[in-house]
Amino acid sequence: MELKRGILNKRNGENMVKDSYIMRLIHIEELKEVVLLQNFVYENLSNKQILYTDSYDEMRTDMELGAKVIGIFNSNNQLIGYRYIAFPGLSNRNLGNDIHLPESEFEKVVHLETTVVHPDYRGNNLQSMTLQEVIRLTKNLGYKHLMCTVSPFNLFSLFNNMKNGLKIKALKEKYQTGKDINDGLYRFILHRELEPIKTIQPIQSFSVSLDDFKAQEYLINEGFIGFSLFKENKLLNYIR
């Protein structure tokens, strides 16, 4: 199913060139290409902590259970980006568990799992564009909550998610390997209701440095939510 098409800027050495794209849902038979792109992007990351990679088998099983992958293909029909979403339902992995969402809402939760854009195509707003498609698709299917985890060290992804209305509701260590309770990766848990977007009238507000985890944990425990991020000075605005 085609979702969108248009023109992108592509980095070509020192120059920028134009390239056309098609955004569509990928078929399960195309999953190998998705995992190859993920692994290529992961290998090129300077901070490997920001991306929790999924194996082919994990994604395949998840797709068989209903997960979807929106792919972006260039004019040569090569996959240059994707967004993977899942529907965790009543399973333990539902991030609703981390923000005390009532269990009756769990089946209405959409997980924004992974978004990856090839380095040559970054800066085209593809993370936001695919998120807007997810909002449109899942709203029509009756889902109510968007949730995701983002590393505090992933400024670009955090900014894009918050720009689209997701708010920080928790800060936790996730993805433990099981060997040690403290060997996980730090993750913000973000949440947004699909609609209506409620306007919040804050009674208190604090700006905190993105890397001050202690202050953020304190504020979250006191009932604050992370509301907006200033990319330039890496300050997060917490309100309640």
Please name the amino acid found at residue 38: Q
> Roughly how many angstroms between the first and final C-alpha of the chain, as a whole number?
41
Question: CB–CB of 209/235 below 8 Å?
Answer: yes
Instruction: Read off the tokens for 199.
Output: 């306007």
**Which stretch of DSSP H or E encloses residue 137?**
helix 126-140
Nearer residue to ligand COA within complex by CB, 117 or 210: 117
Residue in 22, 35, 41, 235 binding ligand COA, rule: CB under 6 A: 41
Residue in 95, 99, 126, 236 binding ligand COA, rule: CB under 6 A: 126
The answer to whether 74 contacts ligand COA (rule: CB under 6 A) is no
Neighbours of 13 (CB within 10 A): 7
The rounded Cα 199 to chain-centroid distance in angstroms is 23
In the 3-class helix/strand/coil scheme, how is 90-104 assigned residue by residue? CCCCCHHHHHCCCHH
The answer to whether 138 contacts ligand COA (rule: CB under 6 A) is no
Specify the 3-state DSSP secondary structure of 185: strand
The answer to whether 161 contacts ligand COA (rule: CB under 6 A) is no
Residue in 156, 206, 218, 227 binding ligand COA, rule: CB under 6 A: 156
The answer to whether 117 contacts ligand COA (rule: CB under 6 A) is yes
The nearest distance, CB 114 to ligand COA, in angstroms, is 4
Residue in 74, 138, 157, 216 binding ligand COA, rule: CB under 6 A: 157
Chain residue whose CB lies nearest ligand COA:
123
Specify the 3-state DSSP secondary structure of 199: coil
Q: What residues between 77 and 116 interact with ligand COA by CB under 6 A?
A: 114-116
Residues forming contacts to ligand COA in the complex (CB under 6 A) are: 41, 50-51, 114-117, 122-127, 154, 156-157, 160
